[in-house]
Chains A and B, each alone.
Chain A
Amino acid sequence: MFGFLKKVADYTRDAVDAANYLGQGLSVTFDHLRRRPITVQYPYEKLIPSERYRGRIHYEFDKCIACEVCVRVCPINLPVVDWVMNKETKKKELRNYSIDFGVCIFCGNCVEYCPTNCLSMTEEYELAAFDRHSLNYDNVALGRLPTSVTTDPSVQPLRELAYLPAGVMDPHGVPADQPRAGQLPAQVLEQLQANAAAGDEGESIENAPVGDKANG
């Protein structure tokens, strides 16, 4: 008898709990309706890539010394360096250079290790092509500079969340001259140096603990 009653009680409790959880879930969904979309209307609006963005690689043919360091540091030995040894001058003569961006993983090792800085990362990421072979860029294609999002007249550039002023969530309509939250490394350095200079002039200024630390 009591076993049966207990069963009924447990069942009822389960049902009430289930209804309760359902209500909680509904309130969560309802609450989400208040949040505004963060949509970037892609072909018309684009996010400005961050300053360390690793996009398509840019290459300057004239700077290259054909040392093949890029090939050695590449995880898959991807760059093709086509050079011949000039017997008379005893120097390498570079004829062609190519990177296949259908295979490249954009790790940036080649850019990191290039002794003459002839390689660099751009902010170009729209590499879609109808034929995968057209992704194999030769030195001419590698030497082209991409269109910047900020200078393209058909694109509305939008700042990424980390580059927005403090407290702003929506990049739409934020003026370009409004600075981002926090300070850039250069600005921090400037501040430190200014503080250090102030510390040298008079020891009385104690409002900058960072400056004191820099003083040693």
Chain B
Amino acid sequence: MVTNLATAAPALVSPGLDLELSFTQALQGLGLSPQVAHLIWLPLPMALVLVAAIVGVLVTVWLERKISAAAQQRIGPEYAGPLGVLQPMADGLKLLVKEDVIPARADGLLFTLGPVLVLVPVILSWLIVPFGQNLLISNVGVGIFLWISLSSIQPIGLLMSGYASNNKYSLLGGLRAAAQSISYEIPLALSVLAVVMMSNSLSTVDIVDQQNGAGVLSWNVWRQPVGFLIFWICALAECERLPFDLPEAEEELVAGYQTEYAGMKFALFYLGSYINLVLSALLVSVLYLGGWGFPIPVEWLAGWLGQSVDAPVVQVITASVGIVMTVLKAYLLVFLAILLRWTTPRVRIDQLLDLGWKFLLPLSLANLLITAALKLVFPSAFGG
């Protein structure tokens, strides 16, 4: 599970708040064996992250509706709770109690499996999102690569539901979704590769650590501006958000692969797309905007205030600041995505594929090569 930096790599970086260590030690203090203590600890971060993902989605849905309303001089949801904050809950509840319809001529098994295959990889990807030095479920060594490979499962689910619906709009939507995901995965992976090359690690924790030497100045966005833009565009395309929402372009395809879905199965798609948006925003902030790092390193601040970084109070404050910073950066990006939604017109399918294959792919390849060259020439600045 969680790589324990306090024991594995002592002294190099401050371990920060390690909740697992404290928790298991406390349980061992009660007389439990380390294995049992670990077993009791295991479900806690998973449940926490699942709750965090769901709450993140509810907040995003609310923000989307309120910001969309503000951009159009409307009020937006207002009656469900103060300022309509309970509106996403009401939506979810409605979908939960709606009848679960499987069309008579549809392939029932694939029809049910599709939304699951879309949602599960997205939730699984939250495994690697760090909110602090030790505040993630699993610091797997192949972290960011795991996310890329998980996100390529998604088009299979989309294609599956598109095919199983036995509806021409669904099929076209599913095919478009698959084409889109495949063509934007490559520039996405290449721009991630440039970051990985600079930080010499696929682990998200290492990538963030390497960015937080000098606060805001050492964030990857300054060394990878092109990669940042490519990654953001590709992430939007992967999330099927405007201007890349062709798979569910309602003017052409009714609702694409979602056409035949209702009730909870539709809710799974809905949930999946919003979790994916939040996840993409979180990963952009992890890869390019310093993750949990405060614009001025917290270690410096603690030093100026004459506090030890290892003091319990400082550790708690550091962890809280880390979580707040990660979430703040992610939600600023979500805001940008919503703003983009009301700014840009939808691209055509040929424009979409042109942009992916003829523009972003060569650009990200060039970006990767230039990064490699810079790494060889200036090893100190580009992570030699």
Task: List residues of chain A with CB under 8 Å of any chain B CB.
Answer: 15, 22, 25-26, 28-30, 32-33, 35-39
Is B26's beta carbon under 8 Å from chain A?
Answer: no
Which of B30-38, B66-74, B94-102, B268-276 lies on the face that meets chain A? B66-74
B339 engages A29 (CB within 8 Å): yes
Q: Judging by beta carbons under 8 Å apart, are A29 and B342 in contact? A: yes
User: In whole Å, how far is B343's beta carbon from the nearest beta carbon of chain A?
Assistant: 4
Chain A: minimal CB distance from B356 (Å): 14
B residues near A, CB below 8 A? 67, 69-75, 339-340, 342-344, 359
Nearest chain A CB to B13 CB, angstrom units: 37
**Which 10 interchain pairs have the tightest Cβ spacing?**
A25-B343, A29-B343, A33-B70, A37-B75, A39-B75, A37-B73, A26-B343, A29-B342, A32-B71, A29-B339
> What are 6 A-B interface contacts by the 8 Å CB criterion?
A26-B340, A26-B343, A32-B71, A32-B73, A33-B67, A33-B71
Q: Which among A15, A22, A36, A37 is the interface contact of B343 at CB below 8 angstroms?
A: A22
CA distance in complex: A28, B340 (Å): 11
Asked whether, in the complex, the Cβ of A39 is within 8 Å of the Cβ of B71, the reply is no
> Which of A15, A25, A38 contacts B73 (CB under 8 A)?
A38
A28: chain B residues within 8 A (beta carbon): 343
Chain B residues closer than 8 Å to A33, beta-carbon distance: 67, 70-71
Tell me if B75 and A26 are in contact (CB < 8 A): no
Contacting pair A25 B359 (CB below 8 A): no
Which chain B residues border A36 with CB–CB below 8 Å? Answer: 73
Docked pose: A36 CA to B69 CA in angstroms: 10
Count of A-B residue pairs with CB < 8 Å: 32
Interface residue from A15, A22, A29, A38 paired with B71 (Cβ < 8 Å): A29
Tell me the nearest residue of chain A to B67, going by C-beta.
Answer: A33
Task: Name the CB-closest residue of B to A15.
Answer: B359
Q: Is the CB of B340 within 8 A of A32?
A: no
- Residues in chain A near residue B340, CB distance under 8 A: 26
Docked Cα-Cα span, A38 to B74, in Å, equals 7
* CB–CB A35/B343 < 8 A: no
B187 CB to closest chain A CB (Å) equals 14
CB neighbours of A32 from chain B (8 A): 70-73
Contact B344 A22 (CB under 8 A): yes
Residue from A22, A28, A32 having most chain B Cβ neighbours under 10 A = A32
A196 CB to closest chain B CB (Å) equals 46
Complex CA gap A38/B73 in Å reads: 7
Which residue of chain B lies nearest to A29 when distances are taken between CB atoms in the complex?
B343
Q: How far is the CB of A30 from chain B (nearest CB, A)?
A: 6
User: What is the distance, in angstroms, from A25's C-beta to the closest C-beta of chain B?
Assistant: 4
- Chain A hits for B74, CB < 8 A: 37, 39
Contacts A29-B342, A37-B69 supplied; 17 other A-B pairs, CB < 8 Å: A22-B343, A22-B344, A26-B339, A26-B340, A26-B343, A28-B343, A29-B71, A29-B339, A32-B73, A33-B71, A35-B73, A37-B73, A37-B74, A37-B75, A38-B73, A39-B73, A39-B75
A38–B69 Cα gap in the complex (Å)?
Answer: 11
Q: For residue B329, give the distance in angstroms from its CB to the closest CB of chain A.
A: 18
Q: Measured between alpha carbons, how far is A35 from B339 in the docked complex, in Å?
A: 15
Pick the most buried of B69, B71, B74: most chain A CB atoms within 10 A of its CB.
B71
Chain B min CB distance to A22 (Å): 7
**Smallest CB–CB gap between B79 and chain A, Å?**
10
Residues of A within 8 A of B73 (CB): 32, 35-39
| Contact of A25 with B344 at beta-carbon distance under 8 Å, contacts A32-B73, A36-B73 already known | yes
CB contact between A30 and one of B69, B72, B75, B339 (< 8 Å): that residue: B339
Bound: A144/B70 CA distance, A = 42
Residue of A25, A29, A35, A39 contacting most chain B CB atoms (<10 Å): A29
Q: In whole Å, how far is A42's beta carbon from the nearest beta carbon of chain B?
A: 12
**Which B residues lie within 8 Å of A35 (CB)?**
73
Separation of A36 and B72 alpha carbons in the complex (Å): 9
B342 cross-chain contacts in A, Cβ below 8 A: 29
Interfacial chain A residues near B344, Cβ < 8 Å:
22, 25
CB distance from B278 to the nearest CB of A (A): 21
Q: Nearest Cβ in chain A — how far from B342, in angstroms? A: 5
In the assembled complex, the Cα of A28 lies from the Cα of B339 at a distance in Å of 10
In the complex the two chains form, what is the Cα distance from A22 to B344 in whole Å? 7
A33 and B69 CA atoms in complex are apart in Å by 9
Chain B residue nearest to A28 in the complex (CB) = B343
